[in-house]
Structure 1
Amino acid sequence: MLKIRLAGQDALLHPGGALYLPAEATLLVADAHFGKAVSFRKLGIPVPRGTTSENVARLDAALAETGARRLVFLGDFLHSARSHAQGTLAVLHAWRARHPGLAVTLVRGNHDDRAGDPPASLGFEVVDEPLRLGPFALCHHPRPVAGAYVLAGHWHPCVSVGGRAFERLRLPCFWLGDESVPARAVGILPAFGSFTGMHRIEPRPGDRIFPIAGDVVRALPIVPVQ
């Protein structure tokens, strides 16, 4: 994990795509999109199986490595109404049974509006954005909130980086806007779900970009403010 300072607090960027706030003992995850693959298969589109189990394993690893006592999903927990499939929910209930003391909150996103709230048996608190937590406003949609630094998802950000052999790689990234500018005090987490697309971003001067390459999070040079 990579330790940074954000809104006056320490934050840890996990290579699985989660962000941990030690002062709040809270792990943030954006855009898990559980059940996306089964949603596609129900439409007759052949896609890989096992993505829910894979995502849950990565979530377990992030929880274990951070010791988080609270987990907040920043929207798009389930992909669609078709995600309420028996197999998908069985994996999620088994995961929840392994973490009975973990407080879990879902900040509703646009896919949650269509998919509906998770089953009550999962024991989630479900709220609308913004959810205030210390100096942060936890949201799904990345837009400013007065008096807070926003942490959100929705965009599935990635950057294109080049190698010595002229190859180009698209890497998921944490995109943290310049907190000294209120209109840009917004940070966007990468999509946590393994079966999701990515949106290439164009960093602005003062933004901080942290791409994920395998099990490593690194910082790109900050574009200087003119």
Structure 2
Amino acid sequence: MVPLSFANEEFFLTEGRAVFWPRENALLVADLHLEKASFYATHGQMLPPYDSRETLERVALAIRETGARRVFTLGDNFHDNAGTGRLEPHAAGMLAALTRATDWVWITGNHDHAMEAQAGGTLAHELEVAGMVLRHQAKAGETRPEFSGHYHPRLHITVRQRRIRRPCAVVSRDASGSGRMILPAFGALTGGMDAADPAILKAMQPASTIHAMLPAGGKLVQFSLWTSPHPAGAAEGAASGA
């Protein structure tokens, strides 16, 4: 884990794409997309049916690593509303154990807006916790500190003629020092969008700066994506410790 100062609080970004909030003893994860493989199977595209197991193992590891007692999932928890009913017994047992061991809150997203908490936990469309807004999709114009998911951001850079794509968080900051964060997709079977995509930059306005952030070598590395007053667009930045 690497420390990250955000919205005048201290957080940690884990190697496994989660954010740990020490003051609330809470783990934040986005876009689990559980039962994505079984969803595709119902449409004739057969994929290995173990994505939910792998994703839940990742969640369990992050809970052990951080000691979190609360879990907030930031939407698209299942790939569709019926996903909870397709969990095979082993994965269902894993999920039930996790929701019993923690104060688990499902924040719903566009893929699972009508999901049911069949394996435990509670449901919410969005929440405000200790002044932080937790929702699935970043709301353009939001001025409160905000955590969201939805976009599956990935950093796209070229290093020594090699194209590198890695999941990352996208963090905006405004003149007051407050900010908003889009988490990377946590699920085992999730793709990604370029962190500098105009749709992401637009969703993070108003902002003074927007950066891609990820842990690397035990440090937090950041790349500039956008700086006011330039037009929204992608500007590949140079790495720097934070």
TM-score (norm 2): 0.81
Q: CA deviation at 1:196?
A: 1.1
The answer as to 2:189 corresponding to 1:195 is: yes
- Point out where structure 2 has 5 or more consecutive residues left out of the alignment: 202-207, 230-242
The residue correspondences of 1:10-89 to structure 2 (distance < 5 A) are 10-88=10-88
Distance in 2 between residues matched to 1:45 and 1:216, nearest whole Å: 39
Which amino acid in the other structure matches residue 132 of structure 1? E
Per the alignment, residue 204 of structure 2 pairs with none
* Aligned residue in 1 for 2:133: 137
Match of 1:171 in 2: 166
Q: Please point out which of 197, 218, 221 is paired with 1:219.
A: 221
- Check whether the contact 1:16–1:192 (CA below 8 A) recurs between aligned residues: yes
Q: Structure 1 residue 127 and structure 2 residue 121: aligned?
A: no
Q: 1:145–1:18: structure 2 CA closer, same or farther, 3 Å change rule?
A: farther
Report the alpha carbon displacement of residue 37 of structure 1 after superposing the two structures with TM. 0.7
Q: Residue 145 and residue 11 in structure 1: after superposition, are their counterparts in 2 closer, same or farther (change >3 A)?
A: farther
Q: Percent identity?
A: 26
Query: Unaligned 5+ residue runs, structure 1?
Result: none
The answer to whether 1:210 aligns with 2:187 is no
Which of the two has greater strand per residue?
2
Shift of 1:225: 4.9
* Alpha-carbon shift at residue 145 of structure 1 (Å): 7.1
Q: CA RMSD in A?
A: 2.5
Alignment CA distance shift 1:146-1:45 (3 Å)? closer
Q: Which AA in structure 2 matches 1:195?
A: L
Deviations 1:34-53 (A, max 9, x none): 00011101211022231111
TM-score by structure 1 length?
0.86
In 1: Cα distance, 2:82 partner to 2:16 partner = 25
Distance, in Å, in 2 between the alignment partners of 1:113 and 1:171 is 28
Aligned residues: 219
Can you list the C-alpha shifts for 1:67-94, whole angstroms capped at 9, x where unaligned?
0010000011111144234444641333
Distance 1:79 1:98, change over 3 A: closer
Q: Could you say if the C-alpha distance between residues 153 and 5 of structure 1 is closer, same or farther in structure 2, counting changes exceeding 3 Å?
A: same
